[in-house]
């Protein structure tokens, strides 16, 4: 159950990171992109754990 909650939180994090407007700042855009990639990887890991546990 905790993995499902964590996966839901990771999905929400991805959603909010996609909504962030960094303007024309390349540094902020790179940081947002890195965070989005990391959140996506965590989402995939948690999904895999949930599928294997079932």
Q: pLDDT, tens digit, for every residue of 5-50?
A: 999 999 999 999 999 998 989 999 999 999 999 999 999 999 999 9
Report which DSSP code applies to 23: T
- What φ, ψ does residue 20 adopt, rounded to 5°? -65, 130
Count of domains for the chain: 1
pLDDT band at 1 (very low <50, low <70, confident <90, very high): confident
Where in the sequence is the domain holding 16, given as residue range(s)? 2-53
Beta strands in the chain (DSSP E): none
């Amino acid at each position: 159950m905790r993995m499902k909650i964590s996966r839901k939180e990771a999905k929400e994090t991805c959603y909010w990171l996609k909504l962030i407007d960094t303007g024309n700042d390349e540094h902020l855009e790179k940081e947002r992109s890195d965070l989005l990639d990391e959140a996506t990887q965590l989402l995939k890991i948690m999904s895999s754990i949930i599928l294997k546990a079932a």
